[in-house]
Amino acid sequence: MKSSLFLASQSPRRSQLLTQLGVAHELLLPGPEEDAEALETQLAGEGPDAYVARVTTNKLWAALERRQQRDLPERPVLCSDTTVALGNDILGKPADDADALMMLQRLSGQTHRVLTAVSLAWWEADTRREAQLVSVSTVRFARVPDAVLHRYVATGEPQGKAGAYAIQSQIAGWIERIEGSYSGIMGLPLFETAQLLRQAGWDL
């Protein structure tokens, strides 16, 4: 039975959710020499589903190389990526407050998808195995007044968040309904994560 893994994510929410599952872990974060943001660059003509799967795979491979370069033990490596899609448009992390406001104005009064991919690598008899699952949820925003959006952007909360919002923040008061995985919308779908961990030998 596995006991601990490396989490390749800078998101404190993902760490908290993994702890909720009872999985011991330590962070495996990029060094200053790595351009982690470059991994999230969208390819021309790439849709949200293909994008989130590719980016998460690339993040996993980068983390595996990082583990090897740092001469760390062959513990499983977990990573995840969340993408907000309005139609076929990907709304990534906002570049600045103006970009965040524009994204939120687009989401206001609309239903969008939140896709979160989870990838896990582990070793069995000196053979590395990899698996990935994707959680897809829908989120419906009520029509949000511009004054509310301006105040929300001013809190700084949208920065670093796909789609410029966090579902566990004050903006949740304007979310009419969700369908799917609340933890997936937060950034780490617990059902899919548990499935991957059981496949790798965890007894959850």
Active site residues: 81
* CA 66 and chain centroid, separation: 19
| β-pair partners for 90 | 85
* Six-digit token string for 170: 């004050």
Tell the residue number behind the tokens 């001013």, with chain if given.
154
| β-pair partners for 85 | 90, 113
The residues near 64 (Cβ < 8 Å, ≥ 6 apart) are 77, 121, 128
Residues making up the chain, counted from first to last: 204
